[in-house]
Amino acid sequence: MITENNVGIVETKFYTIEDKIKFDSGVEFGPITVAYETYGKLNEDGSNAILVIHALTGDAHAAGYHSENDRKPGWWDTIIGPNKAFDTNKYFVICSNILGGCSGTTGPSSINPETGKPYGLSFPVFTIEDTVKVKKKLLDYLGIKKLYAVAGGSMGGMQAMQFVISYPDYVTSAILIATTSRLSPQAIAFNAVGRNSIISDPNWNNGDYYDKQEKPDRGLSTARMVGHITYLCEEAMYNKFGRRLQDKDHYDFNFDVDFQVESYLQHQGQIFVDRFDANSYLYITKAVDYFDPANKYGSLQNAFKDTDAKFLIMSFDTDWLFPSSQSKEVVNTLMQLGKDVSYCEIKSPCGHDAFLLEYEVQEKIIKSFLNTHIKGEENE
């Protein structure tokens, strides 16, 4: 519903980077079209820009509605808008779809201009650092000389972290939510199972399925079901489903859906295939697996040593995918380096999904951080 408390009707825009970008793999790739949205206005000296970055399967539509009849607002509409955490009366907020995605930014489902066909598996494998290079090109195009803040949750937090590392003089502050500086072996294992379910689908056809009637929907659906298990926690599972049966009062003694949790996962898998590309899932989860700045730079201390950004880091006590211990590792590293860092562990029954659901407490913390940030700069 469009109200005075949100940004109203918004439009997804597109920018094409004509020059090739050198990826971590050594491959030079381009052109790259980037889908993005903006909210609020850039001030005269360009000092109020905030980049928000979506999680694994998100898109550029972070706030507002695409039409009067649009029923669902952007994925972070709860904290982007007038008088919200990312106050569009004060800030110029930018969000873009990730490299390799399937919501407007060039990815494996995009047409290769050299062949006239979708890239498929000819699309180069990329890293989180490569996705940040693409976002920086977009910001340059928009005339952003320096970011007031970069913010993201989960994989978005990884990219925000990499932004600070790659461009230490470009970012004034960073908000890292429910994220990590590297995946645990367990998290990598879940991603591997998801990718294997897609690759094992006979309709995947080695990534060449775009002109086929049958797509690898079953594999992609299963990957999403696996992912959703990691986004919840035991408490959330019990609160949401318990052992309740789905539309029945007894077991059917067959292999159909019996439990509500089964029905939920099946539903999540089914709706996911309508909006996401199987190859994009392969590429993006691999980029997440590769993210490990401590390994690339020799240590986390080396990775963060050149930045003067102020940090706000938040984690959730029931998040077992990216547990608080991983956020605390980043916090401790920044403290050892003498950086300006604030940390908050939020109690929540929602697991990893809390970064999208616990918006009221996050809004208060983010507002306080940004307001203190403003006052601190005004007094300098």
Q: Which residue has the tokens 């195009």?
A: 141
The rounded distance, in Å, linking the Cα atoms of 51 and 318 is 27
Of the residues 217, 277, 319, 353, only one is catalytic, namely 319
Of the residues 154, 173, 197, 327, only one is catalytic, namely 154
- Give DSSP secondary structure letters for 210-262: TTSSS-SHHHHHHHHHHHHHHHS-HHHHHHHTTT-BSS-SS--SSSS--BHHH
252 labelled catalytic: no
47 labelled catalytic: no
The rounded distance, in Å, linking the Cα atoms of 149 and 125 is 28
Of 110, 103, 10, 106, the closest CA to residue 58 belongs to: 103
73 preceded by cis ω (within 30°)?
A: no
Instruction: Report yes or no: 146 and 47 within 8 Å, Cβ to Cβ.
Output: yes
Strands 341-346 and 310-316: parallel
327 labelled catalytic: no
Question: Which residues, in sequence order, are bridge partners of residue 111?
Answer: 118
Cα dihedral 219, 221, 224, 226 sign: negative
Catalytic residue IDs: 154, 319, 352
